[in-house]
Chains A and B, each alone.
Chain A
């Protein structure tokens, strides 16, 4: 190899190295399907996102695996849903991560709805934060701003990119919200009672004027008591609710009992805990599916 060829190889290597340096990406590990989408939309080509919770996976039942811990350790930023969603493994995760890895519990940066003492059902019971903030578009807008600011803080070279992408995503969310309001307006306000398996739609209810009666609690692992099921059946009959929305996490015997006793039919399945296969592969698709299913079943 002559001097000329050697120079060429050096130049090529230098160019490759420089390009790689310029294209350095923020590595994000996400423990939320919705946050994965936000990170991809806002981060664009400047960010690589590893989704540790997959679409359709129940985040309430998620167990931290050694493989996921390695992926989180190799990232620059770990995104969590927050509001207690990761409570069962958060301490282990924080202990195991290197100090250079930033952990951002996005939900903790936005206002919460709470459940418990304020309802007067169980006096003395501690209030629990409702972690299902993604079922409100306005909360998701706030989450987008939190993620954008995190990227801006980590990567000052691409601030304009992050701001432009976030602005575009926020505009899409506002358009989605307008569509939801128009679709929900097809349903009389006195028919907006949403009976669901687990209590995941309080943020949705607050935004669009629904009343929620949930069979399970805030998580999918809380079995309903007989008294609670009886009360739900009585409420469905009293309100004349046409349809109820059950998930496969609910004991099938309870599902059958409620539909048989109340006379309400099954209204279809909803994406309660984030993105999922089918219509729910995107946030907009998930929301449109849920709203269409609810409105068409309750009309």
Chain B
């Protein structure tokens, strides 16, 4: 090959740089779309029933940081339906309750699922009670 050594060197470098493009394409990590997660979550119509031993009673039920149900109860038994995700790992309900009486009182919460499975938990308190209640189908 004839010509200036500088030109020759420049051509060699240019050829090597051009080779880098297919080399990079061949060796780069394949960008695959992420696989969908298999986190269990299914929205179910959940039936909540609340029973208090003392009236008047004010309660608030919070689910995932949002208020689900607030009630100034004038009857000892109340019930409502909610569409919420009920995974196999269960759900946590934050319950805050206030009774006018300072005597020992209780609030029972029953969670019923469409398949008939029902779970219940009870809070006890004198004047107030605050607790995080976990409801799981396998408990």
Residues in chain A within 8 A of chain B (CB atoms)? 178, 181-182, 184-192, 209, 237-240, 263
Question: In the docked arrangement, what's the CA distance between A238 and B37, Å?
Answer: 5
Residue of B nearest to A178 (CB): B130
* B34 and A263 contact, CB distance less than 8 A: yes
Q: Which residues of B have CB within 8 Å of A187? A: 64
B91 at the interface (CB under 8 A from A): yes
Q: Which of B36, B89, B130, B134 contacts A190 (CB 8 A)?
A: B89
Q: Known: A178-B130, A185-B62, A209-B134. Is A237-B41 also a contact (CB below 8 A)?
A: no
A-B interface, 8 closest residue pairs, ranked by CB to CB distance from nearest? A240-B37, A190-B87, A189-B89, A186-B65, A185-B92, A181-B132, A190-B89, A240-B39
Question: In the docked arrangement, what's the CA distance between A191 and B39, Å?
Answer: 8
B45 at the interface (CB under 8 A from A): no
Contact with A along B22-35 (1 / 0, CB 8 A): 00000000000011
B127 at the interface (CB under 8 A from A): no
Q: Is the interface of B mostly helix, strand, loop or mixed?
A: loop
Contact with A along B86-98 (1 / 0, CB 8 A): 0111111110000
| 29 sampled A-B residue pairs with Cβ under 8 A | A178-B130, A182-B132, A184-B92, A184-B132, A185-B62, A185-B64, A185-B65, A187-B64, A188-B41, A188-B85, A188-B87, A188-B91, A189-B87, A189-B89, A189-B90, A189-B91, A190-B39, A190-B40, A190-B87, A190-B88, A191-B39, A192-B89, A209-B134, A237-B35, A238-B37, A238-B38, A240-B36, A240-B38, A263-B34
Q: Which residues of B have CB within 8 Å of A185? A: 62, 64-65, 92-94, 132
Q: Is the interface of A mostly helix, strand, loop or mixed?
A: helix
Q: Which residues of B have CB within 8 Å of A182? A: 94, 132
Residue of A nearest to B87 (CB): A190
Residue of B nearest to A187 (CB): B64
Question: In the docked arrangement, what's the CA distance between A192 and B91, Å?
Answer: 12
* 15 other A-B residue contacts (CB within 8 Å) besides A182-B94, A185-B92, A190-B40: A181-B132, A185-B64, A185-B132, A188-B41, A188-B64, A188-B85, A188-B87, A188-B91, A189-B90, A192-B89, A238-B37, A239-B38, A240-B36, A240-B37, A240-B39
B33 to chain A minimum Cβ distance, whole angstroms, is 10
Residue of B nearest to A295 (CB): B65
Question: In the docked arrangement, what's the CA distance between A237 and B35, Å?
Answer: 7
A241 to chain B minimum Cβ distance, whole angstroms, is 8
Question: In the docked arrangement, what's the CA distance between A182 and B64, Å?
Answer: 9
Question: In the docked arrangement, what's the CA distance between A238 and B91, Å?
Answer: 21
